[in-house]
Structure 1
């Protein structure tokens, strides 16, 4: 191994080398990623806001995703309450609640955007979702049914949008039933969501407060055109929430 790494048993060194090669990484990078992942896991339960910055910085380097997650940053076990430091970030939550949209119905302009997403993507449902540290709330939507149409609320253990919010990147899933982590997710297991596409709604400082998302109860092959349309509509939502532009 290169650098100034401490002495390691030759057998361990050989195993590390093979493991790094299997991922296509340098040994030092492989070890750094493992250390960063362990560090993020150890810091996860802390309420110290400075540690949120540390974990976010680790993620930005690409060394680690959310602790105990799969390659898409999705927890192996859906949380019943927010545990991700990004979701719990006080500044992100301040931005969210300052919009005045949490626990309110946003109005017809947002409903038109959701309806556009349904028509353009040929899906039954789409919405503007907001994610707090307690729940996911649809301030606007098209195609909601059953209890969700009445409550507009999704518990954290059933939320998919929280993962797009946490990573700050789009989450696109064609068939969650065969996803290595999401196949057992409650909202997938009961057939509510099979295909999902969510684009984070972020402010100028990069705080994601929710998503513009679309979903189907059957598999869907999302094309680059579908994703681009959703991103364009998400830009309109962002401008309406955070900017001065009129829709």
Structure 2
């Protein structure tokens, strides 16, 4: 396959070439990346095999781009931010209904299959509350490199991704490459000194269009979460 795909008509093949070119790839690489992402998503849903093993083979075959995500280490390791995070006492704490109500409301209001309240530590992402995700202790946290939320925290502003697979930066994120996150909307949880310690976020494994109403609803819910974490007078 050079510039066409068997079974596609001329119009589809022409559009395929244009999409690959816009993504900075040839057709073979573009199609291989799409197929690889779908294989990971299907394997994750079926539970029939090891996603980690599949990812290792895909990476060894250089199916996915090798470009690294931009570093936000300076923002994430800021001492004032970490002091605010640790002062909440929420890291490694058990689920609480007060926060679970907020994440359930976020998922329902934005019609999203997954929602979470994340806390960003120096080397990991901890989910204080989650909807549509695993609930075991192992599943309640991820290595920091799998966190999309860390970028909302680092910027201290809402992060919107309608189709991260086409974003020039986030298309290289591990959670995007393996199909876990395609659409994402996250609002940072900010204390009264403007330290962002985590996010309230929703995400989908399909593209989504986020409007101003979605951002406002999630921002209001994030404010409720921050008020509970830090008390009244938060900066959100």
Which bin holds the TM-score, normalised by the shorter protein? 0.5 to 0.7
Q: 1:110 aligns with which of 86, 99, 122?
A: 99
Alignment of 1:6-155 (within 5 A): 77-78=68-69, 84-145=73-134, 150-155=138-143
Kindly indicate whether structure 1 or structure 2 has the higher relative contact order, using CA contacts under 8 Å at least 6 residues apart: 2
Q: CA deviation at 1:161?
A: 0.5
Q: CA deviation at 1:155?
A: 1.1
The equivalent of 2:207 in structure 1 is 219
Alignment of 1:175-186 (within 5 A): 175-186=163-174
Q: 1:187 aligns with which of 155, 161, 175?
A: 175
Q: Does 1:205 align with 2:189?
A: no
Residue segments in structure 2 that go unaligned for 5+ positions in a row? 1-66
Any conservation in 2 of the 1:148–1:154 contact (CA below 8 Å)?
A: no
Q: CA deviation at 1:78?
A: 3.2
Residue segments in structure 1 that go unaligned for 5+ positions in a row? 1-75
In structure 2, do the counterparts of structure 1 residues 210 and 158 end up closer, same or farther at CA, with 3 Å as the change threshold? same
The equivalent of 1:162 in structure 2 is 150
Q: CA deviation at 1:180?
A: 0.5
Instruction: With the length of structure 1 as denominator, give the TM-score of the two structures.
Output: 0.64
Deviations 1:5-48 (A, max 9, x none): xxxxxxxxxxxxxxxxxxxxxxxxxxxxxxxxxxxxxxxxxxxx
Any conservation in 1 of the 2:69–2:169 contact (CA below 8 Å)?
A: no
Distance 1:148 1:186 in 2: 21
Distance 1:127 1:149 in 2: 15
Instruction: With the length of structure 2 as denominator, give the TM-score of the two structures.
Output: 0.67
Deviations 1:95-147 (A, max 9, x none): 101100011124001001000001000010101100011111001111114x8
Distance 1:171 1:105 in 2: 27
Distance 2:214 2:162 in 1: 12
Q: CA deviation at 1:91?
A: 1.4
User: How many matched pairs?
Assistant: 167
